Amino acid sequence: MSFVRRSSRMNDSQRGAWNRHAADYIVDVPAGELSTSLAEGAAVDWAEEFGREAELIVEIGSGAGDSLVPMAAGRPDANVVAFEVFEPAVASTLGRLGRDGVTNVRLVVADGAQALGQLFDDATVGELWTFFADPWHKARHHKRRLVSRSFGDVVAAKLRPAGLWRLATDWEDYALWMREQLDDHPALENVHGGWSPRLAERPVTKYEARGIAQGRQVFDLTYRRRP
């Protein structure tokens, strides 16, 4: 049973949602030394967690679930695994999942970058979603950014052939950096040869709306795992 490590940061509605729904949606994975890292050797049998075999979709940095919940609801035939480190946001996601009766989602409170490499077999992920996931958009933080050439190697290994990595950001320099890191990756193909049209199923989240209100443009990218 999941417990809340920093419950004081949750408001009453988030705490209520956690108590009602955590057991249904949260997959407890043994933690490592940092509360958001995974213990060495931690593993998950996803088919068992979902009670079925299905196409796996992974989201890293699902926040309050503003894209996750409607997008998973629109893909009922897929098993959707979301990683988010901020527990109050996970609690809000639980509330939405419960309200909307969406059952094909599991949440893990852990660093999704490490988890992708550790908790999924190679060539088993159908899609990876990273939407506005990164707090490290500034150029001086490039070493801490989620998207990098080496993370591209991990994604390429985990995607099945023709599997898709969908990204979005509202920071132009970070978007350009993503292209620099990934466009010539030997195992990934930029599906649109440049920026992607906005993914129709991706709702405008509060983060995206804030970026737009502050005058920033949104950049979508899609990469496909080469066969």
Ligand X SMILES: C[S@@+](CC[C@H](N)C(=O)[O-])C[C@H]1O[C@@H](n2cnc3c(N)ncnc32)[C@H](O)[C@@H]1O
Catalytically annotated residues: 134
Q: State yes or no: residue 87 binds ligand X (CB under 6 A).
A: no
Least Å from the CB of residue 53 to ligand X: 25
Distance between CA 75 and CA 5 in Å, rounded?
31
Q: Which residue's CB is nearer to ligand X, number 6 or number 226?
A: 6
- Tell me: does residue 111 bind ligand X (CB under 6 A): yes
For 55, 90, 118, 202, the CA distances from 27, given in Å and listed in that order, are 18, 12, 15, 25
Which of 54, 86, 179, 187 binds ligand X (CB under 6 A)? It is 86
Of 112 and 152, nearer to ligand X (C-beta) is 112
Cβ proximity of 29 and 42 under 8 Å: yes
Binding to ligand X (CB under 6 A) within 16-35 occurs at none
Least distance between ligand X and beta carbon 180 (Å): 20
Q: What is the 3-state secondary structure (H, E, C) of 198-218?
A: CCCCCCCCHHHHHHHHCCCCC
Residue 72 corresponds to which tokens in the numbers above? 């998973």
CB 141 within 8 A of CB 124: no
Interaction between residue 195 and ligand X (CB under 6 A): no
Minimal distance, residue 88 CB to ligand X, in Å = 9
Stretch 153-192: interaction string toward ligand X, x if CB under 6 A? ----------------------------------------
Q: Which residues contact 101 (CB under 8 A, 6 or more apart)?
A: none
Tokens 């509202």 belong to 170
| Contact between 83 and ligand X per CB under 6 A | yes
- Minimum CB–partner distance for residue 135 and ligand X (Å): 6
User: What six digits make up the tokens of 102?
Assistant: 């969406």
CA distances from 129 to 2, 19, 32, 58 (A): 24, 27, 24, 6
What residues make contact with ligand X under the rule CB under 6 A? 60-63, 66-67, 83-86, 89, 111-113, 131-133, 146, 205, 207
